[in-house]
Structure 1
Amino acid sequence: MCNAVWCFRMASPYFSQNMTVVTRRTEKAASCTTGAPLLSRRRDAGGISSVAVKVEEEEASVSQQTPSLSTPDGSQDRLQLATAQPKREADSLSLSSHGRRQRQVKVEYDEGVLPAKTKHWQPPDWKKQLGHIREMRSSRDAPVDNMGAEKCYDAEAPANVRRFQVLVSLMLSSQTKDQVTAAAMQKLRAHGCTAEKLLSTDDETLGKLIYPVGFWRNKVKFLKMTAAMLVKDYGGDIPDSVEALVRLPGVGPKMAHLAMDIAWDQVSGIGVDTHVHRISNRLGWLMKPTKNPEATRKALQEWLPRDLWSEINWLLVGFGQQVCLPTNPLCSLCLNQHSCPSAHQSSPAKRLKASVLASSFQTKAESGQETVVNEEMIKEEPQPVNPTTLRRKMKNKINH
């Protein structure tokens, strides 16, 4: 009876016309795994339309190609399948992009440490400016050239005594002009300038010998204390390292580096005093302006070639004593006036003529003597300079 009813319903025209709708609704709720048996049963029934069969075949083929997500009751959740697929794709993209970011960071780090990427800073036109300073210092007639630490020791004394005298002259030169230092060294050498001799000399006598050097009372104490340490630890000689020299009373980094260069013939650093400190900042030889000589020394040593460390001190010191004065520098006499960033900023209002500049650093052929700015025309201490008087003196010097 039931079979007869089923066959009647399947053969009914009304049922055949609505088969497509019924089949689509059924497929949306049925599992893909049950689609094939249902299709076979309906084909066996023989009453299904061709349209319904075609639709069912297409949906069955799509269901076999697409993975399914089944619930505990066996029904398919196509919404979860649609959301799971983009999520997996997003996770894979996120993972791949994360991997690319890690590789980019690694590549950037590797490129950052390559030596080729490191830039070595140097001031512009420093070689040209140094050449001009050498030209202006070619006569070597500045006070530092004739009365500096290299000229104050006894050349005939034993090596250890010569080194000690170099150190003493450097200690006396602090805050003192070279002329005064040289005069004090002459009196000390006549008295006996050895560590043992100074240690046995009373403070009053030693003060009279070195007077009028700057801070002579403090320097008497420093000399006595240094002599005692040298006699005890070095047999009257001086240490051969900067670290040991700066431990001596009254000895700073500038004196230590100069002592290593002059006494031991070893270049350990640049000796920077007030002249080197001032001129280096004026010429723009420092990446950033410095406030003290020790900072200037470190900044210069970062870029200046090591083979120039020994030369740069006496070049700039003599240049600062004659032309690049602490106040009222003679920019009109300087060959670097067109490249120096500080030119004519603090120089006298009236500038000397170009003819005076050209003749100031030339050798006069008739007399065979070099015509330069001498000690009478340019004073080391900061004093106002009268341009008219200076021009008159220079003209008289050139004419004679």
Structure 2
Amino acid sequence: MGGRPRNSTPQPARGAGNGTRRAAPPTPESTAVIAALLAEKWPDAVVELDHTNAYELLVATILSAQSTDKMINTITPALFATYPDATALSRATQEEIEPLIFKSGFYRNKAKSLLGMARAVVERRGGQIPDTMEALIELPGVARKTANVVLGSAFQKPAGIVVDTHVMRCANRLGLTTETDPVKIEQDLMKLLPREQWTPFAHRLIWHGRRVCHAKQPDCNNCLLAPRCPSAALVELAPTKQAIKPERTRKRA
């Protein structure tokens, strides 16, 4: 009979294009179905960094590197109360900033980036956060992913798709890309989605990655994308009992 050998162990779904069954290349039409399912599951998905304006979102996104949104949201209230705009932040010193952002990790480098960004915004932009990709990525500490977050969520001007660790993992598992480089992944996704979907799709895929498609133990049993996911076939889709180890045969004396 066909099927999995009785003693074989199902392999977990993997990201980065490995560990997936062969599937048809993605198309705008097939991707639209995935986008619609994500919209159904996560209709209210937004960036989870607390902010009220572009300045606050830019600062929070810089701080979020190698940290979690939950952690950053515990840090930014005091930071924004002390430095409510780029002009105020530009006047701070490294020694004043570091204690406020210590819990974010890599706080010395982040303090340097924040001060460099704020001073550049004041000197080049009169204290106003720029609303173009070209201008944003010229600021210290601001790369394309950070710029995409700010443009899409603060200005509603999507210039690309945010590609974080969750988007990388989920996009590969779903067969939307086989790339591992964030820029190439972004390019693949941009070809598959209309511009108006770039920001909400990224938010929803991030939410899905955080809540369902976990890195080590994806919850394929409760994933509405599983029927369309090439990686879901590599995960046991039914609850399994822990395998019982056979008893060792005692050697007779």
Superposition deviation, residue 153 in structure 1: 2.2
Q: Calculate the TM-score normalised by the size of structure 2.
A: 0.77
Q: Which has the higher helix share?
A: 1
Identity over aligned pairs, percent: 32
What's the TM-score once normalised by structure 1's chain length?
0.50
What is the CA deviation profile of residues 336-374 of structure 1, one whole-angstrom value per residue up to 9, with x for unaligned ones? 2222101153x5x68449xxxxxxxxxxxxxxxxxxxxx
Cα 1:265–1:133, aligned 2, differ >3 Å: closer, same or farther?
Answer: closer
In 1: Cα distance, 2:91 partner to 2:27 partner:
51
Is the aligned partner of 1:238 residue 2:143? Answer: no
Per the alignment, in what secondary structure is the counterpart of residue 218 of structure 2? coil
**Equivalent position of 1:132 in the other structure:** 37
**Structure with larger RCO (C-alpha < 8 A, sep 6+):** 2
Q: Give 1:284 deviation, angstroms.
A: 0.7
SS at match of 2:228: coil
> Structure 1 residues 261, 123: closer, same or farther in 2, change over 3 A?
closer
Give the C-alpha shift of residue 121 in structure 1.
6.3
Q: Number of aligned residue pairs: give it.
A: 218
The corresponding residue for 1:321 is 210
Task: Tell me the distance in 1 between the aligned counterparts of 2:172 and 2:237.
Answer: 24
Provide closer, same or farther for how the CA distance between residues 315 and 350 of structure 1 changes in structure 2, counting only shifts above 3 A.
closer
Paired position in structure 2 for 1:148: 48
**Structure-1 residue corresponding to 2:109:** 218
Name 1:298's counterpart in structure 2: 187
The 2-side partners of 1:237 and 1:285 are apart by 37
The answer to whether the aligner puts 1:197 opposite 2:102 as a matched pair is no
Q: Which amino acid aligns with 1:317?
A: I
User: Could you tell me how far apart the structure 2 residues matched to 1:192 and 1:330 are?
Assistant: 41
Gaps spanning 5+ residues in structure 1: where? 1-119, 155-161, 354-385, 388-400
Aligned counterparts of 2:129 and 2:205: Cα–Cα separation in 1: 27
Between the aligned partners of 1:284 and 1:131, the Cα distance in structure 2 is 16
Residue number in structure 1 paired with 2:59? 168
Contact 1:331 1:344 in 2 (8 A): no
Given the superposition, is the C-alpha separation of residues 263 and 131 from structure 1 closer, same or farther in structure 2, using an over 3 Å criterion? closer
Provide the rounded CA distance (Å) in 2 between the counterparts of 1:264 and 1:127: 24
Whether the 8 Å contact between 1:125 and 1:339 is mirrored in structure 2 is no
Q: Deviations over 1:29-60 (max 9, x none)?
A: xxxxxxxxxxxxxxxxxxxxxxxxxxxxxxxx
Cα separation, 1, equivalents of 2:29 and 2:127: 46
- Root mean square deviation of aligned Cα: 2.5
Task: Give 1:323 shift.
Answer: 0.3
Matches of residues 36-185 of structure 1 in structure 2 within 5 Å? 122=27, 125-138=30-43, 140=44, 145=46, 148-149=48-49, 152-154=50-52, 162-185=53-76
Match of 1:337?
Answer: 226
